[in-house]
Amino acid sequence: MNKTARIKIFIFALVMLALYTNINSITELLKLYRDFNGVDSVSYNIYRYDELKKDLKQDKSAGYISYKSGKELFDDLYLSKEFIITQYVLVPVYLYNTVSCGKVVGDFPIKPPSAKQLKKSDLILIKDYGKGIYLYKNSKIKHNGCNAEEALRNNFVL
């Protein structure tokens, strides 16, 4: 193998190593790219949550569940941003970052939770709005709203 071929292989290996070690940063950039592909994230979420907002107009509060919940939600910059935008879009309904509410908004744009996961959280699907938006009922809560004191005590809320 000549010297030029070895240099090319070395450079290729170096580039692959750099990509591999930065895979988390690259995936974060790809997630954020969605915000800059011609539609801002607020306008996109207004469109996503339009039907749900109409169904929640009688409610003062609801729970919120996504791929991560509780304190873990705010460890992920992308998911915490999604929670804040969802709260903004659904105003005047106040979202609690908990499933301890009668109604719970599910935000799962990639893959919804399994029936087993829902049962573990005592959630029953009320309606699938498409676009990764779901409305659940907590089977252990008899009212539609949230007990703010309990939600704040058990979960981290902005």
Nearest to 31 by CA among 110, 89, 88: 110
**pLDDT digits 0-9 by tens, 66-97:** 877 666 666 666 667 888 899 999 999 988 88
Q: Return the exposure string of 138-154: e unless at least 16 CB atoms fall within 10 Å of the residue's CB, then b.
A: beebeebbbbeeebeee
pLDDT of 92-126, one tens digit each?
A: 998 888 888 899 999 988 888 888 888 888 899 99
pTM, two decimals, is 0.67
Pairing of strands 103-107, 133-138: antiparallel
Range 77-113 burial, b when 16+ CB lie within 10 A, else e: eebbebbebbbebbeebbbbbbbbbbbbbbbeeeeeb
Adjacent-strand bridge partners of 144: none
Helices marked H in 39-147: 41-55, 77-90, 115-120
State which H helix or E strand residue 131 sits in: none
Quote the pLDDT of residue 106: 93
Q: How many CB atoms lie within 10 A of CB 49?
A: 21
Instruction: Check whether 156 has a pLDDT greater than 70.
Output: no
DSSP 120: H
**pLDDT cut 90: percent of the chain above it:** 21
Domains of the chain, residue spans? 39-154
- Which residue shows structure tokens 């599910």? 106
